[in-house]
Amino acid sequence: MAFSFGPFIGFWAAFEAAQRMGVMTISGGGQSTEQRLQSIFQREATVLVCTPTYALRLADAARLQGLDMRRSAIRITIHAGEPGASIPETRKRIEEAFGARTFDHVGMTEMGAYGFECEHQSGLHINEDEFIVEMIDPNTLAPVEDGQKGELVLTNLGRVGMPLIRYRTGDLGTISHASCACGRGWARLLGGVLGRADDMITIRGINVFPSAVENIVQRHPEIVEFAIEVYRRRQMHELHLKVEIAGTANGIIERLTQEFSNDLRIRASIEQVPDGSLPRFELKSRRLRFVE
């Protein structure tokens, strides 16, 4: 459990659940990244629970120490707090770094943990024993059909102290009620949470989610860290991407520029910044910044 054991609620439910399952749970509270790495190897941890951002940071710190996480006992990584584990390129990067299978888990402080991936990994199951699920169009509030993008609206049934009725989660996704190969009939968010209604940015009339930017950046394992800056020029928003690259840039900036243009239809300015100059995150990353 590689998190701070502070008031961030994200992983306490996982910790508690694992203990109730009778699973040996190893605390990473109050430890540095180096101590956590040591603990993973010494205690032969088989499952890693942390944010996707922190999993990549652990892998990066291991690399700098000459440790190979693929030689650790870890076979599964479980992530919450950010959509990363459902972003294909981020998932791939974590799986390659750890030689493990990566699972997404989703929830929110006000609602509770509402979704998880099963072993078939065909979307995030919503725990319909505990939540009533609706999908709406965030603009018209009309219900949307299976297969169409909408905002998830939930009612929690089992939460003591904080019941919420038809709560607009702000999580955007595409729902399916088709039954899953695992046998569960619970609804699934296909491809996970595709974005947050409140973090969409509009670049010259094109709607862009930070997760789409991340999916491009994470294709390049040489990129160690990145930050997205949105600034205004002549009444229009522009996107500036800062990247830290391990070793030489080797045409990465040009490739990224091309990918932004091909995949997102936007022109982004991209800048290589010195190693270690961008902030590192342990819990939720804050890589998007609006610059005046």
Nearer to Zn ion, 3 or 114 (CB): 114
The CA distance from 93 to 56, in Å, is 8
Restricting to residues 118-147, name those near Zn ion by CB under 5 A: 118, 120
- What the block records as the tokens of 224 is 């160690």
Closest by Cα among 51, 78, 196, 192 to 125: 192
The CA distance from 26 to 18, in Å, is 10
Residue 256 CB neighbours (<10 A): 21
Q: Which stretch binds Zn ion (CB under 5 A): 95-103, 140-148, 151-159, 181-189?
A: 181-189
Query: What is the smallest separation between the CB atom of 131 and Zn ion, expressed in angstroms?
Result: 16
Restricting to residues 74-103, name those near Zn ion by CB under 5 A: none
Cβ pair 149, 83 in contact under 8 A: no
- What the block records as the tokens of 261 is 């243009």
Q: Sort residue 74 into left (φ over 0), alpha (ψ -120 to 50) or beta.
A: beta
Give residue 140's identity as a one-letter amino acid code.
T
Phi, psi of 206 (to 5 degrees): -110, 130
Half-sphere exposure for 271 (CA within 13 Å, toward CB) = 12
Restricting to residues 251-280, name those near Zn ion by CB under 5 A: none
Nearer to Zn ion, 79 or 125 (CB): 125
Residue 225 CB neighbours (<10 A): 24
Nearer to Zn ion, 56 or 126 (CB): 126
Residue 28 CB neighbours (<10 A): 23
SS3 of residue 267 by DSSP: coil
Nearer to Zn ion, 101 or 237 (CB): 101
Total residues contacting Zn ion by CB under 5 A comes to 5
Query: What is the smallest separation between the CB atom of 211 and Zn ion, expressed in angstroms?
Result: 22
**Binding flag, residue 180, Zn ion (CB under 5 A):** yes
Nearer to Zn ion, 117 or 225 (CB): 117
Q: Which stretch binds Zn ion (CB under 5 A): 89-97, 177-185, 234-242, 257-265?
A: 177-185
Q: Which stretch binds Zn ion (CB under 5 A): 68-76, 115-123, 157-165, 268-276?
A: 115-123
Query: What is the smallest separation between the CB atom of 186 and Zn ion, expressed in angstroms?
Result: 8
Query: What is the smallest separation between the CB atom of 148 and Zn ion, expressed in angstroms?
Result: 21
Restricting to residues 183-222, name those near Zn ion by CB under 5 A: 184
For Zn ion, the binding residue among 182, 206, 236, 246 (CB under 5 A) is 182
Nearer to Zn ion, 128 or 244 (CB): 128
Query: What is the smallest separation between the CB atom of 83 and Zn ion, expressed in angstroms?
Result: 19
Nearer to Zn ion, 37 or 113 (CB): 113
CA distances to 15, 122, 134, 169, 262 from 186, rounded to whole Å, are 24, 12, 13, 18, 36
Give the footprint of Zn ion on this chain (CB under 5 A): 118, 120, 180, 182, 184
